[in-house]
Structure 1
Amino acid sequence: MKKVLKVWKIGVVGMCVLLGLNACRKEKFDMSTTSDVNITEYLLENPEQFSQFSQILEITGNDGFLGAYGGYTCFVPDNGAIDLYLKEHGKGSVSALSVPELKEFVQIHVIRDTLSRNDFKEGRLRTPTMYGQYIITGTTNAAGKVDITVNRQAVIKGGEIRLGNGIIHVIDHALEPEKRTLAKMLESNTEYSIFSQALKTTGLYAMLDVLPKDNPDTTRLWNTVMAESDAVLKDAGINSYQDLFDKYCNTGDPARATDSLHLYVAYHIIPGRKYLSDIYNASSHSTLSPEDVVTTKLQGRAILFNDDTFNGVHEPGAEINREASDNTAANGVLHFMNKHYAVKLRLPFAVYWEVTDQPEITKLSNFRRQNSSGPAMAPGDLKDVQWGPGGSVRYYVAPEARKFYVYHDDYLQFASLRTNSASSVTNWIEFKTPLLVKGRYKVWISIIRRGGGQGVQVSFDNQVLRTLRLNETLPAAKKDEVNKVYTYPDGMTPESLEMMGRKMAFSLYKHVTDPGYMIDYYPDSFALLAGTITVEKTDRHTLRFQAVGEDKSGDVQFDMVHFIPENEDQLWPKFNPDGSVVQRPK
């Protein structure tokens, strides 16, 4: 039986080990670094520890490539580890194993990459083994001693051994590849009987039971399953497969692709091999449920699915069972959930997005502090905003902003959105949008008119929208002496302005330079209609601004972007500099 390390607790000490510190226990292994000795030679020079692994390399003919120039990482089980492996498999010696078995043995222990302890993070290593499966590293902490684990099957003994063609990590137990498919792994676990039965009745079991080498569909070689145990389903009031069927099956035939039970199971399958690090390093993932994605969020150490705010209402997410997940299957990865989740029917709703609401900006000491600005940021400084090839972006707050009448008195200013090739200018800008429910929306870009952005092509994902002039100005305001307000010019109304693809994003507000008057129209602060989009998946998307017009100098300044369902009110609500939101007067 495999030695399975069930405890995977990460502590401060454990992280130190993963960053390269040696364990406290002293080991006998030679820790010298040399460019003269390669992996094969080193193993031969230390037969008291590695004679059996050397024998395996010789039988399989792999001693040649591990003795040649290159860069390898080799997790080497010492003689004691191989003795234990042989005993577990009922073999008396290495020679009792077949050559194909021994070749697989070598392949699962060798990576064509040089990986030191500094590269060992919780989760998968960056490069798969020669067998084609990824190795998972973690830590255990027992009696104050922290060890690095490998595939939850072995512990690294001592420190790394650096050689001329790579690195050796000595392990106390041989690694074994996982040969079961995702379907077989789930079927063999009695704690997942309901979910496994649902896989079978929907027909998705068969898809998850095909090895990559036998799969004629090269686009579906790998899958990732987020399984829910019987206990998790019981917490959701589902005590049997029949309960699950009654709750979700709406056609009587769960094998039908449009059936709700089929979609529930498909929603728990993500195409590709997605380990935990792959999951939480992306904000969303496509599923086998057409047009539906799961959103992901890392909150402390908790990885949450679908922890979102929709139309101002927070929907708590479902947490992944982190300690039990990251299980490699022969055709993908298996994770386990701590909470039930399902596809939700959501209707499109308006999203009024303040572009200054970026994680890196909200952490600034001057965030929404009046009369201040943030540091100049270069491409790469904001995770969800990209621009290039050069230029910079800066965060500004009132009172300098107040005369422009922008929401919360703040905005983002991009230096020189232009078409020339100078390294100091910006040719394009891309924003990662908030989560949008699938549907059709009109897109409004709320700007401050400046000298830049003579011609800017707007696109949403692959949908090309209008070309806008971000440096245009509207007709001057009319001063109404009777009502003490600066308002729309004669012959112009909010509705006529909307027909021109323009609108005021702020409501009636005090005029800065003439405080005795109010203002509900300002020619240099308004929103431009970029066009109507079709959001095909409930997800975050990409909004791009590409300079295409004359090479005019000057900066561009963004306040908000409004995504409003096409059949809803496009003019209200409005957003004032003091942070107030004003609804349409009744």
Structure 2
Amino acid sequence: MSKIKYILLTALILCFIFSSCDSDKILEENLYTFTDKMMGKYLETDSTLTEFYKLMEMTNVNGLLNSYGSYTCFAPTNSAMLEYYKEKGKSSLSDFSPDSLKLIAYDHLINGSEIIFASFLNGRLPDPTMSNRFITITLTPDGAALVNRNSQISEKDIMVHNGVIHKIRKVLDPVRLGIVDVIAKEENFSIFYDALILTGLADSLLLDKDESYEISTTRAKELEDAVVTTIASERYAPLMREYGYTVLMESNETFQKNGINNIDDLKTYAANVYDTMYPADANITNVTDRRNSLNRFIAYHLINKELSYTKFLSNYDTGHQFKTVDLYEYIEPMCPNTLIQVKNERSSGKMNLINTIQDTGKSIEISMSNYDNDATNGVYHEIDRILAYTKEVDAEISSKRLRFDVSSLFPELTNNNMRGRPSNNDVLYRHAIPAGYLERLKCGEATVICYTSPNDKLMNYMGDEIFIAVKPGQLYDLEITTPPIPAGTYEVRFGFQSNGRRGVAQFYVDGIPSGVPVNLNTLGTDIGIGYESIGSNPADLFGYENDKMMRNRGYMKGPGSFKSINSSWYTGESARHNAGNLRKILGTYSFLNTENHIIGVKGLSSGQFQIDFIEFVPTSVLEFEDIY
């Protein structure tokens, strides 16, 4: 059955299921407009899109749109194109350079996915355009949608044989400036911008693309072949290595509400916060010194990941996560040895709450009227309160379990659109990454890193995972650098899914061996681990006594906060109910200083190494820790 017939049949079936449904109205309002033409042919025959079709012809893009594939096209109407010529001081397409024409064409096309209107959410679409820019959708109260905030969709969901077309009323014209230059043009953020320049931190936001990264077709195939398993998968080696940044900014108005009217006021505010946090550095007056209070203040607002609104946390809040359990992400900003906490709060339904203080309920939020402001190498968001790493924030973060989804440790996965990108649940979507690509994962050249996007059949935290493969006859040897952990005494754990493809490994924390080697193939039901199915023991229906026994052997059940959506591979109502989903306790460690740490792993036998998440749990909360 063709895709178009399937969608139409589904609409009609739903109509019969719900007796109140008016079938004539559904057909009249066009859930979809169907045509079996190729996209290029449709553009040629639609009289309202003749100018856009000329653009496709002049740039030789139309041949692509008449081929098999999967495309999403935001097609400006004739009036939109004519208005664009006028804005640019041109009279027709012939007045633009060939390079400009190709860029305009690519700005309106997404290659590789069909994104229908029903899947639109506020924020960026998951896939970039052919010009490698992201499109932002704004849904309006009347059910309409704006593209990049100013181009209304006039006709949606024109389904063609190889994709979908949405007609729009204004040509898309994304900013061609870096993040610093974009901020410079925003008069309402002049106080922050002045401090960004004064501290020299603007120089930390200039990278765009790693020009030294090259990969041949042969090398890409070698990497992709290395992550082939018995499970069907689509495999992709990264063709580029891009950088990206996020800036969280207070507006002048927000600063003024807090008595900050100029750069000197901001210096005073920053000193009150950071000279208290770091008294030994209180006398450092050079604002370009990373220990200076103003420098720390600005650096705490800067992140070396390009985080659109949904990539702070929402994109990782997959169907695997129980929506009754709050979800957290911990982000390392450019301010040394600090963390930003982001929370999806279930009780209120609020997303992306920043640095929530449990006792007061206070948190910082991204302004929903000024977010996802795009640049060529990043994005900025306005925030509604002043952001700072105060003693209050430090106490909050250092007194709770810190669980890091392992993919969150590597900015490259976010900046190159691997993490947070939806996958095709028919097959696993695997990224085959060479050694050296991830700055915080050190390994030998024989190692291939596989990042697997979320899939309904996986039972992983946030739905994704990383596994390590090596060439035949080789053993893996790797080191992962963690984000900074506040000073204190912690139980350190790593979460994984055991199966028959793993091997035996020796773990290290900061270079010190962590106990004896671990056989990662061993299921929890092994006598050496002692997992009991929850509910199987009448004297311990909830498994709490079994938890204690497993802890004595150095293991824990998986968290009860996530599950497998499709139970084809993994069964159990949550990871806690699956004997293969385990946490290995690496040991208890006292950290005298707030700093990054190194988790090392050496393979002692053939097989993969898989890791889902890492936990640092203050020993002071172990007695009260929940099962989630």
Fold match (TM-score > 0.5): yes
Please list the CA deviations of residues 168-200 of structure 1 after superposition, one character each: whole Å capped at 9, or x if unmatched: 111111101211221122221111111000011
Partner in structure 2 of residue 63 of structure 1: 62
CA contact 1:85–1:173 (8 Å) conserved in 2: yes
The alignment status of 1:128 with 2:128, answered yes or no, reads: yes
C-alpha change, 1:233 and 1:39, in structure 2 (3 Å) is same
Question: Partner amino acid for 1:563?
Answer: P
The alignment status of 1:304 with 2:337, answered yes or no, reads: no
SS of alignment partner, residue 146 of structure 1? coil
Cα separation, partners in 2 of 1:176 and 1:306, compared to 1, 3 Å: same
Match of 2:259 in 1: 237
- The superposition leaves residues 374-421 of structure 1 with CA deviations (integer Å, 9 ceiling, x where unpaired) of xxxx996684799999xxxxxxxxxxxxxxxxxxxxxxxxxxxxxxxx
Change (3 A) 1:140 1:460: farther
Match of 2:150 in 1: 153
| Cα distance in 1 between the residues matched to 2:601 and 2:207 | 44
3-state SS of paired residue (1:185): helix
Shift in CA distance, 343/261, structure 1 to aligned 2, threshold 3 Å: same
Deviation per CA, 1:182-238: give whole Å up to 9, x if none: 112222111111100001101122343x36269889977321111111111122332
Shift of 1:152: 0.7
Query: Partners in 1 of 2:85 and 2:32 — Cα distance?
Result: 26
**Residues 457, 465 of structure 1: 8 Å contact kept:** yes
Answer whether contact 1:149 1:156 (CA < 8 A) is retained: yes
Which is worse superposed, 121-130 or 530-539?
Answer: 530-539
Shift of 1:529: 9.5
1:10-159 paired onto structure 2 within 5 Å: 31-34=33-36, 37-46=37-46, 48-113=47-112, 114-141=114-141, 145-159=142-156
- Contact map agreement 1:121 1:137 (CA 8 A) in 2: yes
**Aligned-partner Cα distance in 2 for 1:213–1:222:** 9
Instruction: Note if 1:339 corresponds to 2:335.
Output: no
The one of 304, 322, 328 equivalent to 1:271 is: 304
Runs (5+) with no aligned partner, structure 1 = 1-20, 356-377, 390-432, 446-454, 474-500, 503-527, 549-559, 565-571, 580-586
Is it true that 1:195 corresponds to 2:183 in the alignment? no
CA separation of 1:176/1:211 partners in 2, compared to 1, >3 Å: closer, same or farther? farther
Asked if the contact 1:302–1:320 (Cα under 8 Å) also holds between the matched residues in 2, the reply is: no
Structure 1 pair 286/219, CA: closer, same or farther in 2 (3 Å)?
farther
Report the CA distance between 1:319 and its aligned residue: 1.2
Task: Please state how far the C-alpha of 1:101 moved relative to its aligned partner.
Answer: 1.5
CA 1:57–1:248: 2 relative to 1, 3 Å: same
Q: Quote the offset at 1:457 in angstroms.
A: 7.9
Partner deviation per Cα, 1:311-356 (whole Å, 9 max, x = no partner): xx4562211112310111121111111110112354799858799x
Kept in 1: contact 2:400–2:621 (CA 8 A): no
Cα separation, 2, equivalents of 1:533 and 1:22:
69
SS of the aligned residue for 1:160 comes to strand
Q: CA contact under 8 A between 2:492 and 2:589: conserved in structure 1?
A: no
Look up the match of 1:477. Answer: none
The one-letter code matched in structure 2 to 1:465 is: S
Q: Offset at 1:81?
A: 1.3
Runs of 5+ unmatched residues, structure 2? 1-22, 214-239, 272-281, 317-328, 404-455, 468-481, 494-503, 519-525, 530-551, 554-584, 605-614
Partner of 1:481: none
Output one character per residue of 1:502-539: Cα deviation in whole Å (capped at 9) or x when no partner.
Answer: 9xxxxxxxxxxxxxxxxxxxxxxxxx993325498689
CA deviations 1:25-44 (Å, max 9, x no partner) are: 9789992231xx21111111
Contact persistence 1:463–1:533 (CA under 8 A): no
Larger Rg: 1 or 2?
1
- Once residues 203 and 398 of structure 2 are traced to their aligned partners in structure 1, the CA distance between those partners, rounded to angstroms, is 41
Contact 1:293–1:537 (CA under 8 A) maintained in structure 2? no
For 1:40 and 1:181, the matched residues in 2 are separated by 33
Distance 1:544-1:229 versus aligned 2 partners, 3 A rule: same
Aligned to 1:482: none
CA contact (8 A) 2:106 2:130 kept: yes
Distance in 2 between residues matched to 1:93 and 1:529, nearest whole Å:
67
Whether the aligned pair in 2 keeps the contact of 1:27 and 1:157 (CA below 8 Å) is no
Asked if residue 563 in structure 1 is aligned to residue 618 in structure 2, the reply is yes
Amino acid at match of 1:75: F
Q: CA deviation at 1:107?
A: 0.9
Asked if the contact 2:366/2:384 (under 8 Å) is kept, the reply is: yes
Report deviation, 1:158: 2.2
Aligned to 1:443: 491
Q: Distance in 2 between matches of 1:256 and 1:216?
A: 29
Q: Secondary structure at the match of 1:212?
A: coil
Deviation at 1:444, TM superposition (A): 9.1
In the alignment, structure 1 residue 530 sits paired with structure 2 residue 587? yes
Distance 1:49 1:254, change over 3 A: same
Given that residues 22 and 158 in structure 1 are in contact (C-alpha distance below 8 angstroms), is that contact kept between their aligned partners in structure 2?
no
The Cα of 1:87 is off from its aligned counterpart by 2.1
2:366 aligned with 1:317: no
In 2, the alpha carbon distance for the partners of 1:531 and 1:164 equals: 59
Task: Say which SS state the counterpart of residue 312 (structure 2) adopts.
Answer: helix
Aligned residues: 405
Which one has a larger percent helix, Structure 1 or Structure 2? 2
The match for 2:183 is 186
Q: Tell me the secondary structure at the aligned position of residue 289 of structure 1.
A: coil
Structure 1 position 563, deviation (Å): 2.7
SS at match of 2:139: strand
CA distance in 2, matches of 1:222, 1:30: 36
Q: 1:259: which partner in 2?
A: 292
TM (normalized to structure 1)?
0.58
2:32–2:159 contact (8 Å) kept in structure 1: no
Conserved 8 A contact 1:348-1:436:
no
Give how far 1:90 is off: 2.4
State the alpha-carbon separation in 2 of the partners of residues 72 and 247 from structure 1.
Answer: 50
- Structure 2 CA distance for aligned equivalents of residues 457 and 213 of structure 1: 36
Secondary structure in 1 matching 2:256: helix
Q: 1:234 to 1:155 in 2, by over 3 A?
A: same
SS of the residue corresponding to residue 194 of structure 2 reads: helix
Distance 1:442 1:38, change over 3 A: closer
- Tell me, in whole angstroms, the C-alpha distance in 2 between the residues paired with 1:459 and 1:194: 46
**Partner residue, 1:226:** 248
Report the Cα offset of residue 76 of structure 1: 0.5
Alpha-carbon distance change, 23 to 124 in structure 1, aligned in 2, over 3 angstroms:
farther
Tell me which protein shows more strand as a share of its residues: 1
2:337 equivalent to 1:291: yes
Q: Say whether the 8 Å CA contact 2:32–2:156 is kept in structure 1.
A: no
Residues of 2 paired with 1:211 and 1:103: CA distance?
24
Amino acid at match of 1:264: F
Confirm or deny: 8 A CA contact 1:220 1:272 kept in the other structure. Answer: no
Deviation at 1:462, TM superposition (A): 8.9
Q: Partner residue of 1:212? A: 208
What is the percentage of aligned positions where both structures have the same residue?
25
**In structure 2, distance between residues paired with 1:24 and 1:264:** 54
Alignment counterpart, residue 465 of structure 1, candidates 495, 514, 518? 514
Q: What SS is found at the alignment partner of 1:157?
A: strand
Alignment RMSD (CA, Å): 4.8
Deviation at 1:88, TM superposition (A): 2.0
